Amino acid sequence: MVWITICTERYDGLMSAETPTVGRPRAFDEETVLDRAAEVFWRHGYEGASLTALTGAMGINRPSLYATFGSKQELFQRAFARYHETQVARARAALEQPTAYTAIEAFLRSSADGLTAGDHPPGCLSVQGGLACSPENAGIAEILAAGRAATESVLEARLSRAADEGDLPPGMDARALARFVMALSEGHAVHAAAGARREDLQASVDIALQAVLPHS
Amino acid sequence: MVWITICTERYDGLMSAETPTVGRPRAFDEETVLDRAAEVFWRHGYEGASLTALTGAMGINRPSLYATFGSKQELFQRAFARYHETQVARARAALEQPTAYTAIEAFLRSSADGLTAGDHPPGCLSVQGGLACSPENAGIAEILAAGRAATESVLEARLSRAADEGDLPPGMDARALARFVMALSEGHAVHAAAGARREDLQASVDIALQAVLPHS
DNA sequence: TGGCCCTGTAACCGATCGGTACAAAAAGAG
DNA sequence: CTCTTTTTGTACCGATCGGTTACAGGGCCA
């Protein structure tokens, strides 16, 4: 919801134009190089990702990058959007479980798995991309925060539905619970960035799930 | 323990020399300017904090900075150590509560308070300083990770003691619980950096504490 | 008073930053 | 084949990065 508005507002006019019929054909696939760019941002953060590192990993040169994506900021937004489609979407899909408990468990487990998967950098681009930036790049931190807030909104919507269905422990607030789950997931991202093992994160999930059970 | 070793290793020979008996006295207080430097690193991250911004906030000029601290990296280490003394120490002190439950509650509450205090930037320097850095600054991320790991070790030691005293819910692993508490605190730091309100974080703490209670 | 050490300003260093000008190369259109 | 169009590679732009030097004073002690 919030995310959608932000998405369309920011990306209108920035989406790739349709491929022209004449002229030298493009030698790279846009989504592929976006994935490579996302990995560099993921590993080094926005400000730590130099154009040299980006173009090197993407396998294209600077003029191609700028002709295609416009600027480093726009490239980041595109890469971040792609990251959402390919990575965050899995955790969100996990919310389609029948009960609040199973939805939260699936969310946290798939999140912990994604944070420690071997086929991409550890951690989460939404967190490592740039929690704190230099003043001229303050917009990057906002973009990332908006992405995280959007995921939290989806989580909250799912748990609100659960509350309506009487599927939450008595006295449990859906919004606070969504924030708790999201915060834990972000903390796991911080841990994963520092090299935490998957089992260690899952053990933390085990404990978190105790909080969702009704108490005596 | 890990932290102590790392601390002494890194800081040996970097500590400020005793003030000389002759010559013009220093016009600034070392701890004061370190606090100012920590704020800049805190707000903008290591790489986002330029020397111009640092010297401006510290109220000294570059030659003085380099004569006193040696380099940007060493300045950061000193500022980070000072941050531990002034900020992190409060959360660690909260662990001196009689029971595991009250210790965890005090830790998380004072952490949430500190993350949203008005007299310094929101969030936590240990997290925002630089989760992901450019390759040449990879050491900064390691220093921060070591600091967080040290806090987690202290937490784990306290909870291990609680386990020995039979003060943990049955079947609860002290190490996993420490990681859970630490991860939640880090997630709260991420939230605080994005502008979360103190009450919102405390509501998340309320939920987390449910996990520490014994279950039916 | 003579050193000594610090302070401030200022200018400068090589390297790297994000971002471009330009011409060769590769394709379709005629 | 030539013209047009688009991408590609090289080489470069000004600005800023972290870090250093030079130097004219200023405060303190012996």
* pLDDT computed for residue A18 by the predictor: 61
> For residue A62, which nucleotide's C1' is closest to its Cα?
C19
Which chain A residues 98-157 have CB under 7 A to strand D? 134
Mean pLDDT of A122-147: 96
Percent of chain A whose predicted confidence (pLDDT) is above 70: 90
Q: Report the distance separating Cα B25 and Cα A168, nearest Å.
A: 65
Cβ neighbors of B64 (< 8 A, separation 6 or more) are B28
C-alpha distances out from residue B87 to A77, A113, B40, B55, B91, Å: 34, 32, 15, 22, 7
| CA–CA separation, B89 and B111 (whole Å) | 10
Q: Is the pLDDT of residue A10 over 50?
A: no
Mean pLDDT of chain A: 90
Instruction: Please report which confidence band the pLDDT of residue A7 belongs to, taking 50, 70 and 90 as the band edges.
Output: very low
Task: Dig out the tokens for B84 from the structure.
Answer: 């531990």
Name the residue among A187, A206, A207 with its Cβ closest to that of B187: A187
User: What does residue A22 show for φ and ψ, rounded to 5 degrees?
Assistant: -115, 175
Q: How far is the C-alpha of B92 from the C-alpha of A10, rounded, in Å?
A: 42
Q: Which residue of B has its CA nearest to A129?
A: B132
Give me the residue label for tokens 């790279």. Answer: A28
CA–CA dist B44, A92 (Å, integer)? 30
List of chain B residues whose C-beta atoms are within 8 Å of the C-beta of residue A135: 44, 48, 53
What does the alpha-carbon distance between residue B146 and residue B144 come to, in Å, rounded to a whole number? Answer: 5
pLDDT band with cut points at 50, 70 and 90 for residue A24: confident
- pLDDT of residue A14 exceeding 90, the answer is no
Q: Is the pLDDT of residue A13 over 80?
A: no
Give the gap in angstroms from C-alpha A104 to the nearest C-alpha of chain B: 14
Label each residue of chain B as H, E or C.
Answer: CHHHHHHHHHHCCCCCCCCCCCCCCCCCCHHHHHHHHHHHHHHHHHHHCCHHHHHHHHCCCHHHHHHHHCCHHHHHHHHHHHHHHHHHHHHHHCCCCCCHHHHHHHHHHHHHHHHCCCCCCCCCHHHHCCCCCCHHHHHHHHHHHHHHHHHHHHHHHHHHHHHHCCCCCCCCCHHHHHHHHHHHHHHHHHHHHCCCCHHHHHHHHHHHHHHHCCCC
CA closest to A195 among chain B residues: B145
Asked if residue A88 has pLDDT above 50, the reply is yes
CB B8 within 8 A of CB B2: no
- Per-residue pLDDT tens over the stretch A37-87: 999 999 999 999 999 999 999 999 999 999 999 999 999 999 999 999 999
pLDDT for res B9: 31
pLDDT at A11 over 60: no
Q: How far is CA A200 from the centre of its chain?
A: 21
pLDDT tens digits, residue range B50-76? 999 999 999 999 999 999 999 999 999
Residues of chain A contacting B213 with CB distance shorter than 8 Å: 215
CB spacing of A47 vs B48 below 8 angstroms = yes
Q: Which residues contact B77 (CB under 8 A, 6 or more apart)?
A: B10, B11, B14, B143
Task: Tell me the C-alpha to C-alpha distance, in Å, between residue B4 and each of A3, A23, B15.
Answer: 44, 63, 15
* pTM score above 0.85: yes
Q: Do A190 and B190 touch (CB under 8 A)?
A: yes
Q: Is the pLDDT of residue A1 over 50?
A: no
Burial category of A160 from C-beta neighbours within 10 Å (exposed 0-12, middle 13-18, buried 19 and up): middle
Which residues on chain B are in Cβ contact (under 8 Å) with A215? 210, 213, 215-216
The Cα of B149 is separated from the nearest Cα of chain A by a number of Å equal to: 9
In the structure, what pLDDT confidence band is assigned to residue A4 with cuts at 50, 70 and 90? very low
CA A143 to C1' C24, in angstroms, rounded, equals 39
Number of Cβ within a 10 Å radius of residue A146: 18
B138: which residues sit within 8 A by CB, 6+ positions away? none
What is the spatial distance, in angstroms and rounded to an integer, between the CA atom of B23 and the C1' atom of C12?
A: 28
Q: Structure tokens of B136?
A: 């040449």
Provide the angle, in degrees to the nearest 10, between the axes of the packed helices A30-48 and A72-83.
110
Substitution target from A204, A205, A213, A216 for chain B, most B beta carbons within 10 A:
A204
Q: Which residues of B touch A45 (CB under 8 A)?
A: 45, 47, 130-134
- pLDDT for residue A216: 53
Q: Residue B168: left (phi > 0), alpha (psi -120 to 50), or beta? A: beta
More confident residue, A77 or A17: A77
| Residue B45, pLDDT score | 97
HSE-up (13 A, CA, CB side) for residue A205: 24
Q: Which long-range contacts (CB under 8 A, 24 or more apart) does B172-177 make?
A: B172/A207, B172/B212, B173/A203, B175/A203, B176/A200, B176/A203, B176/A204, B176/A206, B176/A207, B177/A207, B177/B104, B177/B212
The pLDDT averaged over each successive group of 10 residues in chain B (216 residues) is: 30 44 77 95 96 94 92 95 95 96 98 97 97 95 98 98 94 96 98 98 97 78
Nearest CA to CA, how far is A63 from chain B (Å)?
23
pLDDT at A215: 67
Cβ contacts of residue A136 below 8 Å, gap of 6+? none
